[in-house]
Protein backbone atom coordinates (compact mmCIF):
# COMPACT_ATOMS: atom_id res chain seq x y z
CA UNK A 1 0.00 0.00 0.00
CA UNK A 2 1.22 3.49 -0.86
CA UNK A 3 0.04 6.90 0.33
CA UNK A 4 0.62 9.57 -2.30
CA UNK A 5 0.17 12.49 0.12
CA UNK A 6 3.40 11.98 1.99
CA UNK A 7 4.74 8.68 0.68
CA UNK A 8 5.76 7.85 -2.90
CA UNK A 9 6.07 4.37 -4.36
CA UNK A 10 9.65 3.13 -4.16
CA UNK A 11 9.87 2.31 -7.86
CA UNK A 12 8.72 5.74 -9.04
CA UNK A 13 10.94 7.59 -6.60
CA UNK A 14 14.03 5.61 -7.50
CA UNK A 15 13.38 6.11 -11.19
CA UNK A 16 13.22 9.86 -10.59
CA UNK A 17 16.42 9.78 -8.56
CA UNK A 18 14.53 10.97 -5.50
CA UNK A 19 13.57 9.38 -2.20
CA UNK A 20 12.12 5.90 -2.02
CA UNK A 21 8.60 5.65 -0.71
CA UNK A 22 7.09 2.69 0.97
CA UNK A 23 5.65 -0.04 -1.24
CA UNK A 24 7.06 -3.32 -2.48
CA UNK A 25 10.58 -4.20 -1.30
CA UNK A 26 13.23 -2.93 -3.69
CA UNK A 27 16.77 -4.19 -4.36
CA UNK A 28 18.37 -6.16 -1.58
CA UNK A 29 16.40 -8.34 0.80
CA UNK A 30 16.78 -7.75 4.53
CA UNK A 31 18.93 -10.87 4.81
CA UNK A 32 21.24 -9.72 2.03
CA UNK A 33 21.50 -6.24 3.50
CA UNK A 34 22.58 -7.63 6.86
CA UNK A 35 25.46 -9.64 5.44
CA UNK A 36 28.79 -8.43 6.85
CA UNK A 37 31.01 -6.47 4.52
CA UNK A 38 34.57 -5.31 4.99
CA UNK A 39 34.55 -1.60 5.64
CA UNK A 40 37.44 0.73 4.74
CA UNK A 41 38.56 3.15 7.43
CA UNK A 42 36.85 6.53 7.37
CA UNK A 43 39.51 9.25 7.52
CA UNK A 44 39.26 11.22 10.75
CA UNK A 45 36.26 9.31 12.09
CA UNK A 46 36.15 7.97 15.65
CA UNK A 47 33.72 7.83 18.59
CA UNK A 48 34.72 11.44 19.30
CA UNK A 49 34.15 12.42 15.63
CA UNK A 50 31.65 9.99 14.07
CA UNK A 51 29.74 10.11 10.82
CA UNK A 52 26.10 10.75 11.78
CA UNK A 53 23.67 8.43 9.99
CA UNK A 54 19.95 8.92 10.69
CA UNK A 55 17.36 6.44 9.41
CA UNK A 56 13.70 7.44 9.26
CA UNK A 57 11.57 4.30 9.01
CA UNK A 58 8.36 2.65 10.09
CA UNK A 59 7.53 -0.90 11.12
CA UNK A 60 4.41 -0.57 8.94
CA UNK A 61 6.39 0.11 5.75
CA UNK A 62 7.23 -2.89 3.57
CA UNK A 63 10.15 -1.09 1.92
CA UNK A 64 11.87 -0.36 5.24
CA UNK A 65 13.32 -3.75 6.34
CA UNK A 66 16.36 -3.68 3.98
CA UNK A 67 17.30 -0.14 5.09
CA UNK A 68 16.66 -1.09 8.70
CA UNK A 69 18.91 -4.14 8.30
CA UNK A 70 21.65 -1.94 6.84
CA UNK A 71 21.52 0.36 9.86
CA UNK A 72 21.55 -2.65 12.19
CA UNK A 73 24.68 -3.90 10.43
CA UNK A 74 26.62 -0.67 11.06
CA UNK A 75 25.09 0.16 14.45
CA UNK A 76 28.12 -1.09 16.39
CA UNK A 77 30.78 0.72 14.34
CA UNK A 78 32.82 3.08 16.56
CA UNK A 79 33.34 5.57 13.72
CA UNK A 80 29.63 5.85 12.87
CA UNK A 81 26.72 7.15 14.94
CA UNK A 82 23.80 5.24 13.41
CA UNK A 83 20.38 6.30 14.73
CA UNK A 84 16.94 4.85 13.98
CA UNK A 85 13.94 7.20 14.12
CA UNK A 86 10.46 5.65 13.96
CA UNK A 87 7.96 7.97 12.21
CA UNK A 88 4.21 8.11 12.73
CA UNK A 89 2.64 8.60 9.30
CA UNK A 90 2.23 4.87 8.68
CA UNK A 91 0.61 4.18 12.06
CA UNK A 92 -2.98 4.42 10.78
CA UNK A 93 -2.44 1.92 7.96
CA UNK A 94 -2.75 -1.29 9.92
CA UNK A 95 0.17 -1.29 12.37
CA UNK A 96 1.25 1.32 14.93
CA UNK A 97 5.05 1.52 15.11
CA UNK A 98 6.12 0.70 18.66
CA UNK A 99 9.00 3.24 18.61
CA UNK A 100 7.48 6.04 16.55
CA UNK A 101 6.87 9.54 17.90
CA UNK A 102 5.60 12.85 16.48
CA UNK A 103 8.99 14.34 17.42
CA UNK A 104 10.72 11.95 15.00
CA UNK A 105 8.28 12.78 12.22
CA UNK A 106 8.81 16.49 12.86
CA UNK A 107 12.57 16.03 12.60
CA UNK A 108 12.24 14.38 9.19
CA UNK A 109 10.01 17.21 8.02
CA UNK A 110 12.58 19.77 9.21
CA UNK A 111 15.16 18.08 7.00
CA UNK A 112 12.73 18.11 4.07
CA UNK A 113 11.83 21.78 4.42
CA UNK A 114 15.46 22.83 4.87
CA UNK A 115 16.42 21.00 1.65
CA UNK A 116 13.42 22.35 -0.27
CA UNK A 117 11.64 19.01 -0.46
CA UNK A 118 7.84 19.00 -0.31
CA UNK A 119 7.45 15.34 0.66
CA UNK A 120 8.76 12.91 3.24
CA UNK A 121 9.04 9.17 2.64
CA UNK A 122 10.28 5.98 4.21
CA UNK A 123 12.88 4.65 4.27
CA UNK A 124 15.19 7.66 4.22
CA UNK A 125 18.75 8.04 5.49
CA UNK A 126 20.27 11.46 6.21
CA UNK A 127 24.07 11.71 6.49
CA UNK A 128 25.51 14.46 8.74
CA UNK A 129 22.25 16.38 8.44
CA UNK A 130 22.67 16.86 4.68
CA UNK A 131 22.92 14.11 2.07
CA UNK A 132 19.69 12.10 1.71
CA UNK A 133 19.53 8.56 0.29
CA UNK A 134 17.04 5.71 0.51
CA UNK A 135 19.39 3.47 2.51
CA UNK A 136 18.19 0.13 1.13
CA UNK A 137 21.30 -0.43 -1.00
CA UNK A 138 24.18 -1.40 1.28
CA UNK A 139 26.91 -0.53 -1.22
CA UNK A 140 25.47 2.94 -1.79
CA UNK A 141 25.09 3.49 1.96
CA UNK A 142 28.68 2.45 2.70
CA UNK A 143 30.07 4.62 -0.11
CA UNK A 144 28.02 7.65 0.95
CA UNK A 145 29.25 7.32 4.53
CA UNK A 146 32.85 6.94 3.37
CA UNK A 147 32.60 9.97 1.08
CA UNK A 148 30.90 12.15 3.70
CA UNK A 149 33.38 11.49 6.50
CA UNK A 150 32.77 12.69 10.06
CA UNK A 151 30.70 15.75 10.89
CA UNK A 152 32.94 18.80 10.54
CA UNK A 153 33.01 22.57 10.70
CA UNK A 154 31.76 22.86 14.26
CA UNK A 155 33.20 23.05 17.77
CA UNK A 156 35.17 20.53 19.78
CA UNK A 157 33.08 18.55 22.24
CA UNK A 158 34.50 17.36 25.55
CA UNK A 159 32.67 15.62 28.37
CA UNK A 160 33.73 15.96 31.99
CA UNK A 161 31.34 14.06 34.22
CA UNK A 162 27.93 15.68 33.76
CA UNK A 163 29.38 18.72 31.98
CA UNK A 164 29.62 19.14 28.22
CA UNK A 165 32.22 21.67 27.13
CA UNK A 166 31.56 23.11 23.69
CA UNK A 167 34.60 24.76 22.13
CA UNK A 168 34.95 27.84 19.96
CA UNK A 169 34.71 28.20 16.20
CA UNK A 170 34.62 31.05 13.70
CA UNK A 171 30.90 31.31 13.19
CA UNK A 172 27.96 33.42 14.25
CA UNK A 173 25.33 31.02 12.95
CA UNK A 174 23.01 29.72 15.64
CA UNK A 175 23.26 25.98 16.24
CA UNK A 176 21.36 23.63 18.51
CA UNK A 177 23.21 21.31 20.84
CA UNK A 178 21.28 18.04 21.08
CA UNK A 179 21.58 15.14 23.50
CA UNK A 180 20.50 11.86 21.90
CA UNK A 181 19.59 8.81 23.97
CA UNK A 182 19.35 5.57 22.02
CA UNK A 183 19.05 1.85 22.70
CA UNK A 184 22.11 -0.02 21.35
CA UNK A 185 20.61 -3.45 21.93
CA UNK A 186 19.00 -5.54 19.22
CA UNK A 187 15.25 -5.42 19.87
CA UNK A 188 13.07 -7.98 18.10
CA UNK A 189 9.60 -6.69 17.22
CA UNK A 190 6.83 -9.05 16.14
CA UNK A 191 4.67 -7.26 13.55
CA UNK A 192 1.10 -8.55 13.71
CA UNK A 193 -0.62 -6.45 11.05
CA UNK A 194 -0.05 -4.07 8.16
CA UNK A 195 2.39 -4.47 5.26
CA UNK A 196 4.93 -6.37 7.39
CA UNK A 197 2.36 -8.44 9.24
CA UNK A 198 3.69 -11.85 10.31
CA UNK A 199 7.34 -10.75 10.30
CA UNK A 200 9.65 -10.24 13.25
CA UNK A 201 12.00 -7.33 12.64
CA UNK A 202 15.16 -6.54 14.61
CA UNK A 203 15.91 -2.92 15.50
CA UNK A 204 19.12 -1.35 16.84
CA UNK A 205 20.09 2.14 18.00
CA UNK A 206 16.46 3.17 18.41
CA UNK A 207 16.25 6.82 19.42
CA UNK A 208 14.35 7.04 22.69
CA UNK A 209 14.95 10.71 23.50
CA UNK A 210 16.21 13.86 21.80
CA UNK A 211 16.87 16.71 24.23
CA UNK A 212 17.88 20.28 23.42
CA UNK A 213 20.73 21.12 25.78
CA UNK A 214 21.17 24.67 24.53
CA UNK A 215 22.24 26.92 21.68
CA UNK A 216 25.74 27.69 20.44
CA UNK A 217 26.91 30.63 18.31
CA UNK A 218 30.68 30.20 18.27
CA UNK A 219 31.77 31.03 21.82
CA UNK A 220 32.92 28.41 24.33
CA UNK A 221 30.08 27.11 26.42
CA UNK A 222 29.48 24.65 29.28
CA UNK A 223 26.22 22.71 29.37
CA UNK A 224 24.85 20.23 31.88
CA UNK A 225 24.11 16.70 30.69
CA UNK A 226 21.08 15.26 32.54
CA UNK A 227 21.26 11.75 33.93
CA UNK A 228 19.78 9.07 31.66
CA UNK A 229 16.42 7.58 32.57
CA UNK A 230 17.88 4.11 31.97
CA UNK A 231 21.41 2.75 32.24
CA UNK A 232 20.70 0.60 29.16
CA UNK A 233 20.62 3.65 26.88
CA UNK A 234 23.67 5.01 25.08
CA UNK A 235 24.18 8.74 24.57
CA UNK A 236 25.61 11.11 21.98
CA UNK A 237 25.90 14.84 21.35
CA UNK A 238 25.01 16.60 18.09
CA UNK A 239 25.63 20.21 17.09
CA UNK A 240 23.24 21.16 14.31
CA UNK A 241 22.76 24.38 12.35
CA UNK A 242 19.21 25.69 12.47
CA UNK A 243 16.15 23.50 11.97
CA UNK A 244 17.03 20.59 9.71
CA UNK A 245 20.46 21.97 8.92
CA UNK A 246 23.94 20.50 8.72
CA UNK A 247 25.39 18.60 11.67
CA UNK A 248 28.80 20.19 12.26
CA UNK A 249 29.96 18.20 15.30
CA UNK A 250 29.07 14.94 17.01
CA UNK A 251 30.44 12.81 19.82
CA UNK A 252 29.49 9.51 21.42
CA UNK A 253 29.53 9.73 25.23
Mean pLDDT by groups of 10 residues along the chain of 253 residues: 35 34 44 58 96 98 98 98 98 95 98 97 98 98 98 96 95 92 97 96 97 96 95 97 96 97
3-state secondary structure 180-226: EEEECCCEEEECCCCCCCCCEEEECCEEEEEEEEEEECCCCEEEECC
pLDDT tens profile 162-194: 999 999 998 878 999 999 999 999 999 999 999
Q: Which residues contact 15 (CB under 8 A, 6 or more apart)?
A: none
**In terms of pTM, does the model score above 0.85?**
yes
Amino acid sequence: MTRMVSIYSAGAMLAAGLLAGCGQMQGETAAQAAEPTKQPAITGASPAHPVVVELFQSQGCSSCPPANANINAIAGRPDVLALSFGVTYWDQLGWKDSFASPRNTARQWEYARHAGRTQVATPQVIINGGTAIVGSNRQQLDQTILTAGPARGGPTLAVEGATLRVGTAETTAKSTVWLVRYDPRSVQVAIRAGENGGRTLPHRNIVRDLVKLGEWTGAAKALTIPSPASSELASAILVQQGAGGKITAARKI
